[in-house]
Structure 1
Amino acid sequence: MIPDPQGAVMALFLAFCRIGGCLMVMPGFSSARLPMQIRLFIALALSLALLPMFWDTLYPPATAAPEVYLVTIFSETITGVVFGMVARIYSLGIQFAGSIMSMAIAFNSSPTGDIFEDSSDNNLTSLLQTGALFVLFILDFHHYMIKAVAESYTTIPVGTLVGAQKSLISVTDALAATFKIMLRLASPFILYGMLFNVVVGMINKLAPQIPLYFISTPYALAGGILLVYFTIAALLDQFADGFFVIFNAL
């Protein structure tokens, strides 16, 4: 028998705030294709699983004054969102790399529906985004995120609001590191596009009467798709390695 059912429910809700805030923006779990009920049940299940581990930490703030409890709810939610936002920023980076690759190889297809979100994107970007997310799930990145949230109760006590400066530094560092990694992943395609366009431009100078743009586009696309075929395995491998490097650094 639970001696204080009301306190237990309020402590569970505090755990749900941090975990639910992380899942709300975490890649995969925040997808529009995942029903809201499933996301809610996953967050509740994780909260129930972690509550006994941090009962002594969560129960005292849950039984505090109402105004203190409301402030604690806000701080716990923001803490969870900051953790999930770092992973979200990195997963969005593959869309940036896919857009660069599509422009470099002249893959200018009409946008189609995104697999994970209610937006439109080209087929190459959707392929890279799907493969990258699958690789992260295969490597149990969601377990890594849950472990990080659980360990955050030690580094960021309950009710302690994450500093605005610290959060901003974490987000900007994640953005900078993501930009460098995605630029490195797309660098072969950037070099390919530059070399191909330089060669086509030189040929066009020698034979200006030939419409080389329309003639060269299929060859640029064929070479780019061949480059994707040979580099996509290494690209996804470096993408997965970069995630753990960035998250450990933060």
Structure 2
Amino acid sequence: MDFELARTVSAAIPDQGFVLAIFLLSLRLSAVFLFTPILYAFSVPATARVLIVIGLALGLALGVPSAETRALLAMGNGELVAAGITELALGATLALGILIAFASISMAGRLVDVQIGFGMAQVYDPVTQRQVPVLTSAFDKLGVIVFFLLDGHHALLRGIAYSLERFPLGRGWPIESAAPWVIKQMAGLFALGFALAAPVVVCLLLVELALGVVARNLPQMNMFVIGAPIKIVVGLAALSLWFGGVGPAMNRIYGSIYKTWDAVFAAAPAPAPGAR
């Protein structure tokens, strides 16, 4: 009876290597979600965020081979600290790809705000925790909503799961190979943002030209009082029409995330034969 009780108690206690795998995975996931607006665009309690990260780490840790968990268990304190820093750096690098994509959506909203004249109106943005123009905040929330509608969170989780194969827990990874691809995506930020807002900006540019012609021929008219409502009406109308065809531009923006991730994963050293 005592032997049966001891075996039951030992089975109830989780393996220490498995706990370490959950801890390191939590660091990787925390860095991914901390630097991205996926959980911060809307009011999500901090406790819920922690539970989401721990739950995802627990689910992903179930697929970690026992050989890796035993290797984690054999690490010393200094090696565990270095492994934790490595996981945070990897998560932050992966998060940069997401952050840059959403930054292009935010830039498109700010560009439209300035052209319409909403740059003078500011609202509180929970993502950046500062005052931003009206349409910029709307574009940020729209980007997160469309991301979930397109099942981007599923692709995100598959990418994190695949990162466990390319970058095993607690092992170093070539950060210098990831930098060029992140910089390349950052260089395309402005092109993607302008492509998202281009039709609205062109419509507002034509309105500006028309108002300039009217101001030239009728200098007694107050074009600031007359032009501001016209630009708002035309800008919002063009924006509402453009939302029907915004899909390809949004797909290009979200696709830039996974192109960067694929390049980072491809630069990783191939796993040893029989490791998985």
Task: Name the TM-score, length of structure 1 as normaliser.
Answer: 0.89
Please point out which of 93, 112, 122 is paired with 1:101.
112
- Superposed CA RMSD in Å reads 2.2
Q: How big is the shift at 1:78?
A: 1.1
Query: Structure 1 residues 248, 220: CA separation in 2 closer, same or farther (over 3 Å shift)?
Result: same
User: Cα deviations across residues 89-129 of structure 1 (Å, max 9, x unaligned)?
Assistant: 21122111011011222334420122545222222222222
Matched to 1:14, the amino acid is L
In the alignment, which residue of structure 2 is the partner of 1:205? Answer: 216
Q: Which moved more, 1:121-130 or 1:74-83?
A: 121-130
In the alignment, structure 2 segments of 5+ residues that lack a partner are 1-10, 261-276
Q: Is 1:64 equivalent to 2:70 in the alignment?
A: no
2:166 to 150, 155, 160: 155
Equivalenced residue count is 249
Check if 1:121 corresponds to 2:123. Answer: no
CA distance in 1, matches of 2:39, 2:173: 23
- Alignment counterpart, residue 37 of structure 2, candidates 12, 27, 46: 27
CA change 1:37–1:219 in 2 (3 A) is same
Match of 2:26 among 13, 16, 36: 16
2:43 & 2:146 partners in 1: Cα distance? 18
- The 1:194–1:31 alpha-carbon spacing in structure 2 relative to 1, beyond 3 Å, is closer
> Which shows bigger deviation, 183-192 or 30-39?
30-39
Matches of 1:172 and 1:124 in 2, distance apart? 27
CA distance in 2, matches of 1:19, 1:58: 18
Amino acid at match of 2:228: T
Unaligned 5+ residue runs, structure 1?
none
Amino acid in the other structure paired with 2:18:
A
**Residues 173-188 of structure 1 mapped to structure 2, 5 A cutoff:** 173-188=184-199
- Show the counterpart of 1:224: 235
In structure 2, the CA distance between the partners of 1:3 and 1:63, relative to structure 1 (3 Å rule), is farther
Does residue 134 (structure 1) correspond to residue 148 (structure 2)? The answer is: no
- Give the Cα–Cα distance (whole angstroms) in 1 for the partners of residues 147 and 42 of structure 2: 18
User: TM-score by structure 2 length?
Assistant: 0.81
Matching residue of 2:50:
40
In structure 2, what is the equivalent of residue 240 of structure 1? Answer: 250
